[in-house]
Amino acid sequence: MIRELAAGIYSFFADAFGTLFGFLGTMLSGLFAGLKELLVTLFSPILSLIVAIFYFLYKLGVLLVLVIEILFRFVFFFVYVMKGLFLTLIGLSYNGQSVALPHRYQEVIDNVQPALQFVQIDKFAVLCQFAVWVFIALALIRVVGARN
What are the tens digits of pLDDT across the range 99-141?
677 788 788 878 887 877 777 776 777 788 788 888 888 888 8
What is the residue type of 113?
Answer: Q
pLDDT digits over 37-77, tens only?
A: 998 898 999 999 999 999 999 999 999 999 999 999 999 98
Can you state the angle between helices 103-119 and 121-145, rounded to 10 degrees? 90
Comparing C-alpha atoms, which of 87, 100, 98 is closest to residue 126? 87
pTM of the full structure: 0.44
Contact 91, 123 (CB under 8 A): no
pLDDT for the residue numbered 104: 81
DSSP state of 95: -
